[in-house]
Amino acid sequence: MSIDVGLEQGLIRVTEAAAVASAHTMGRGARDESDRVAVEAMRTELDRLDMRCRIVIGEGERDQAPMLYVGEELGGGDETAPRIDIAVDPLEGTNLCATGAPGAVAVLAASEEGGLLHAPDIYMEKIVVGPTARGRVHLDAPVAENLRNIAEAFDREVSDLTVVVLERDRHAQLIADIRAAGARIRLIGDGDLSAGIAAAVRGTGVHAVFGIGGAPEGVLAAAAMRCLGGEIQGRLHARDAAQKQRLVDLGIEDPDRIYDTRELAPGENILFACSGVTDGELLRGVRFFGGHGSRTSTLFMSLADRVIRFVDTIHRPDDGPVIFR
């Protein structure tokens, strides 16, 4: 899949549309509605692509999710059109959108077939660092050792590091360990994917993300890390007998296996698009200008083309004046 401009523009439109749709619902306290409109908008735009798209990470299995379920085929391309695999999270951080908190994004990754791991929708224990600390951490190493190595890579003290952790009871020991090691912590309510992306960009003030979040978002984070030169390690985390059985059914023999960035996102033609829904470290949220359109902020990356593009789009209304703000 060589990256044609049409596909790039098309994928950007997909996350922009999901961001605009969900941003309209910001602060309504209705997370399901926010998610639903993002899913609908994303699906409509994906279906307009001149490609044959297969959803490999989506809203759930076919029997639970009416749209963007795993295995759904979309796109307007005929038999000769290129086939691509798509991983989506139409609204990463539904609660963030529902409350207007920072960090909600609409996300998509695409690749040649087989380029994104079909991770089950269970938890994943993760560690994410950017290019500076790549190769210096290990999921099985003690927290203090990982932090020492990250600090050394950044040429600073552990006390100068900021680690992002999802605020969950399951992270009590992790948080205690990070505190004991002396690093600073930013607890977030949701959204370890955008935090992971921030960790891979210098200047955001985020140096690493530790903890247990969703496995599908781990694959999306891996796609982003391939494009940004960062690193993620992940271990699937089955919580009950049913999830353990699901791993067996998927042919995952070693439940303790640690997946590295390339194993999670092995593609050579990875594309990644992420639009801000609410304001965040890297991307602004959607702004609306009354009847005069909207403005979106998107990160688009292509691994093969080696580009990281920030796309600032004004969406004009059908008629009426254009307002630049």
Q: Which residues form the interface with ligand VTB (CB under 6 A)?
A: 92-93, 166, 168, 190-193, 213-214, 217
Provide the minimum distance between the beta carbon of 114 and ligand VTB in the complex, in angstroms, as a whole number: 23
CA distance 67 to 36: 9
Provide the minimum distance between the beta carbon of 214 and ligand VTB in the complex, in angstroms, as a whole number: 3
Instruction: State the residue for tokens 């952790």.
Output: 165
Start-end of H helices in the chain = 5-23, 31-47, 94-99, 143-153, 172-181, 192-199, 215-228, 241-249, 261-264
Nearer to ligand VTB, 35 or 92 (CB): 92
Provide the minimum distance between the beta carbon of 228 and ligand VTB in the complex, in angstroms, as a whole number: 17
Residues 6+ apart with CB under 8 A from 141: 149
120 within 8 A of 250, measured Cβ to Cβ: yes
Provide the minimum distance between the beta carbon of 220 and ligand VTB in the complex, in angstroms, as a whole number: 9
Provide the minimum distance between the beta carbon of 142 and ligand VTB in the complex, in angstroms, as a whole number: 23
CA distance 214 to 123: 5
Provide the minimum distance between the beta carbon of 108 and ligand VTB in the complex, in angstroms, as a whole number: 15
Nearer to ligand VTB, 51 or 225 (CB): 225
Nearer to ligand VTB, 16 or 35 (CB): 35
Nearer to ligand VTB, 82 or 214 (CB): 214
Q: Is 270 exposed, middle or buried (0-12, 13-18, 19+ CB in 10 A)?
A: buried
Nearer to ligand VTB, 16 or 92 (CB): 92
Which residue's C-beta sits nearest to ligand VTB?
213
CA distances from 235 to 141, 247, 252, 258, 284 (A): 13, 12, 12, 5, 31
Nearer to ligand VTB, 75 or 211 (CB): 211
Provide the minimum distance between the beta carbon of 91 and ligand VTB in the complex, in angstroms, as a whole number: 10
Beta strands 73-74 and 52-57: pairing type? antiparallel
Q: Give bridge partners of residue 126 from the DSSP assignment.
A: 211, 234
Nearer to ligand VTB, 53 or 164 (CB): 164
- Nearest residue to 269 via CA among 300, 224, 232, 302: 302
